[in-house]
Amino acid sequence: MQIYSSLVQGAQEGNKRFAVLIDPDKYSMEQLKKLINISQKAGVDFFFFGGSLLTRDQQDLFIKLIKKSCDIPVVLFPGNHFQINIKADGILFLSLISGRNPELLIGKHVVAAPYLKASKLEVIPTGYMLIDGGNRTTVGYMSNTDPIPAEKSEIAVCTALAGELLGLRLLYLDAGSGASNPIPLNMIKQVKKYTTMPLVIGGGIRTPSQASGASKAGADVVVVGNAIEQDLKLVPKLSEAIHS
């Protein structure tokens, strides 16, 4: 439980964590090497690894390269059960609790369970909630679910509470990769106020001030993917904003 313990400890002590999302479809080997290098120097805490849809067969090679090059833990953030890879350190075992698609609440998990049980991956039961970020995102389309409206903090709070009472250990509020609007700060504050699970916030965060805003509002882990794919030089700036 090293990854999860470190998340709990961070949440208790107010030490914010920065996760860089690597969608393997979006990187070449050369770019990934640069990202690893810059992330090590910038003090990135985790690599979240995965995407809604993988069209290039790079996952295995990329995870091997990261594990060989640095100590930053690789946490799978899988779009589907084909993305389970035993070379990673852990996996967010996501239940899409904002949606009403039974396959993503429990169905795919049944298929994945025996592989995960037989692996050494640290499995982190995660309540995954999609929040409307102002545009239709790949994850919204692929999951065939409606996101929670951005102004409905009370629905987000009740959904998060239900996840907590069901025994989930981590909460991830996601506006979806490339969202026009990140998760509203008020929603982050409200969810943080009423729940005790470590809170991960991602989707549509592009600037250090947005990252710092999410962190100050109550995010224990801030995730950025898309903006870093566009500009690797953002990594140290985001890291400083989140960690300070």
Query: Cβ 120 to ligand 1GP, closest distance in Å?
Result: 25
Residue of this chain nearest to ligand 1GP (CB atom):
202
127 binds ligand 1GP (CB under 6 A): no
> How far is C-alpha 225 from the chain's CA centre?
9
For 43, the token pair is: 């003090």
Buried b (16+ CB within 10 A) or exposed e, 232-242: bebbbebbebb
224 binds ligand 1GP (CB under 6 A): yes
79 binds ligand 1GP (CB under 6 A): no
Query: Cβ 121 to ligand 1GP, closest distance in Å?
Result: 20
203 binds ligand 1GP (CB under 6 A): yes
Identified binder of ligand 1GP from the candidate list 205, 217, 238, 242, rule CB under 6 A: 205
Site for ligand 1GP, residues 11 to 40, rule: CB under 6 A: 21
225 binds ligand 1GP (CB under 6 A): yes
78 binds ligand 1GP (CB under 6 A): no
Got the DSSP string for 160-219? Answer: HHHHHHTT--EEEEE--TT-SS---HHHHHHHHHH--S-EEEESS--SHHHHHHHHHHT-
For 42, the token pair is: 């910038």
Secondary structure of residue 111 in the 3-state scheme: helix
Which residues sit at the interface with ligand 1GP, rule CB under 6 A?
A: 21, 174, 176-179, 202-205, 223-227
